[in-house]
Amino acid sequence: MEDHANLAARWLAGAGSIVALTGAGVSAESGIPTFRGEGGLWRTYRAEDLATPSAFARDPILVWEWYRYRQGICAAAAPNAAHAALARIEERAPGFTLITQNVDGLHRRAGSRNLVEVHGDIFRARCTVCGANRELTGAEEETIPACPGGHTMRPDIVWFGETLPENAIAKAHRASASADLFLVIGTSAIVYPAASFPLIAKDRGARLVEVNPEETPLTPLADLSFRGKAAEILPLLVDRAFSRPVEDS
């Protein structure tokens, strides 16, 4: 672990273009449940009932109630040491791109700015008719928000079977294709197309570093795998990379 940490720190300090892909595990230590695994949302709720266009068409009140409940959890949560470490990488490595599957807003609250949110934002609603998009403050009275034209709005989230925002995909693809170091943090790496970004980077010769307490389908491809919590491992790597002079890799 010690040697691996030093090596990863050297790669971080020396890389010209760093990209990270994060998933629900990065927010686990902020108290936000993951989707799969122990305590995961999909262990209690069926995705088909809550996170698909047909679920919303069938019962928009149920879907909104579930998202309001989760907004409450996200609003009460605070960014953890992993979010802070990623924001610090951006300060030190200006070309850094952070691709997140998370909709909780914690990366932004931690200070990350070059951020690509590929699955949407739980604090926004989008009109199902005109596409109008607005922030939800939590103070709204109505269960189902409406746009100024009176049409039903939905959570601005990418559900199963839906395409991801075109701009986000293009930016994530571009960054992945030109990365020379790609960090995969706290994701089961089974949901596509997000899980393809590290594969694109690896294909183009990038080094792949994974941080996750569990193995994932990407583990066999990783140049280094850290089996641990993001909020413990990432600050360690970032401290080593940027707090002291680094020898050549």
Using the rule CB under 6 A, is 97 a contact of ligand BJW? no
The one-letter code for the residue type at 27 is: S
Residue placing its CB nearer to ligand BJW in the complex, 17 or 156: 156
Using the rule CB under 6 A, is 170 a contact of ligand BJW? no
SS3 97: strand
Judge whether 234 and 81 are in contact, CB under 8 Å. Answer: yes
Using the rule CB under 6 A, is 23 a contact of ligand BJW? yes
Residue 107 annotated as catalytic: no
Using the rule CB under 6 A, is 165 a contact of ligand BJW? no
Q: Which of 229, 238, 240, 241 binds ligand BJW (CB under 6 A)?
A: 229
Active-site residue identified among 4, 83, 107, 119: 119
CB of 200 to ligand BJW, least distance (A): 14
Which tokens is 22 given? 């994060």
Residue placing its CB nearer to ligand BJW in the complex, 148 or 220: 220
Long-range contact list for 52-58, CB < 8 A, 24+ apart? 52/159, 52/160, 52/161, 53/159, 53/161, 53/162, 55/159, 56/154, 56/159
Task: Tell me the Cα Rg of the chain.
Answer: 19
Q: Which of 108, 119, 126, 202 binds ligand BJW (CB under 6 A)?
A: 119
Q: Reduce the secondary structure of 194-214 to three states and give it as a string.
A: CCHHHHHHHHCCCEEEEECCC
Binding residues (CB under 6 A) for ligand BJW: these are: 23-25, 28-29, 34-37, 40, 51, 101, 103, 119, 157-163, 186-188, 190-193, 211-214, 216, 229-230
Q: Which residues are catalytic?
A: 119
